[in-house]
Structure 1
Amino acid sequence: MRSSGTVLAFDFGERRIGVAIGEYELRLAHPLTTIDAVMTNMRFDAIARLIDEWRPVLLVVGLSVHADGTEQSLTPLCERFSRRLQGRFKLPVALVDERYTTITARSALQEAGIIGPKQRTMIDQVAAQHILQSFFDTPDASS
């Protein structure tokens, strides 16, 4: 894999997709936005705009699994989403275990004093940030 350039990460959900951004060189992830749409074409249009703007060299998708690592109902949807990203945008896609990212994102937002409706609007992009940071922190995955 490359070791320079922009990386976009996605926390896939059936209602919302959190998006984070980071740079290989800095190995730091930042929340970017939340795509709040159910319609597939609207989701991919929003993603296309982000890809056009940021020109990533890699996309990272959180793979939703149970705490014990077994599949859950969202697992095949995450895998399908990653295949569609790769097919549509012709970019490499890495899947990253996203266990506990929503819990850690909620905790981080609470520590920052962000609660209630404001937290609901940010939780998915902060979860995507945790997914991307996990990718950067795993030596084998990002070298």
Structure 2
Amino acid sequence: MRILALDYGSKTVGLAITDPLGIIVQPLKTIWREREGKLRKTVEEIQETCKEYQVEELVLGYPCHMDGSEGERVERVLAFQEMLKKKIELPIHLYDERLSTMEAEEILRENGVPKDRQKEVLDQVAAQVILEDYLRNREEG
């Protein structure tokens, strides 16, 4: 069972995916757009990715503040989730993404990824972190 994770940002959405057994997670790609509101093509690309990889569930990073409160970014993620629901008939799980970008940056540094290349893959590695954490907590829960 493949699960696709999405790390939503103002101009990008990072994607990470599990293997067909839903065990191993790997970064997949980053979808870039010119402006935050330009989401139609982004949703279409996610829809195509779901079909291509036979995805059965989505995990969408939920950007709470460190104290657990919700801010402006949460509203944007919830609006994005609603757009996804209209086009993609799969379960969409919101999952706390606190510190996922910092952890992704650390992973890239530890693996010697040059600074100029990190921006290209940061969001998909953050999606990988979100999905790995989601799977780990789902098993424990």
Normalised TM-score (structure 2): 0.90
Matched, 1:36 2:35: no
Q: What is the Cα-based RMSD across aligned positions, in Å?
A: 1.7
Matches within 5 A, 1:37-116: 37=33, 38=35, 39-116=38-115
Q: Tell me how far apart the structure 2 counterparts of residues 116 and 95 of structure 1 sit (CA, whole Å).
A: 30
Runs of 4+ in 1 over 4 A off after TM superposition: none
Kindly provide the CA deviation profile for residues 29-61 of structure 1, in whole angstroms up to 9, marking residues without a partner as x.
210000011321221121122112112110000
Give the aligned residue type for 1:47.
Answer: I
Give the aligned residue type for 2:69.
Answer: T
Q: Contact (CA 8 Å) 1:24, 1:136: kept in 2 or not?
A: no
In structure 2, the partner of 1:14 is 10
Q: Tell me how far apart the structure 2 counterparts of residues 79 and 132 of structure 1 sit (CA, whole Å).
A: 18
Helix, strand or coil at the partner of 1:14: coil
Q: What is the CA distance between 1:140 and its match in structure 2?
A: 6.2
Helix, strand or coil at the partner of 2:55: coil
Normalised TM-score (structure 1): 0.89
Helix, strand or coil at the partner of 1:74: helix
Unaligned 5+ runs, structure 2: none
- In the alignment of these two chains, the number of paired residues is 138
Q: What is the CA distance between 1:24 and its match in structure 2?
A: 7.1
Q: Tell me how far apart the structure 2 counterparts of residues 115 and 75 of structure 1 sit (CA, whole Å).
A: 31
Identity %: 30
| Distance change (3 Å), C-alpha of 1:99 and 1:45 | same
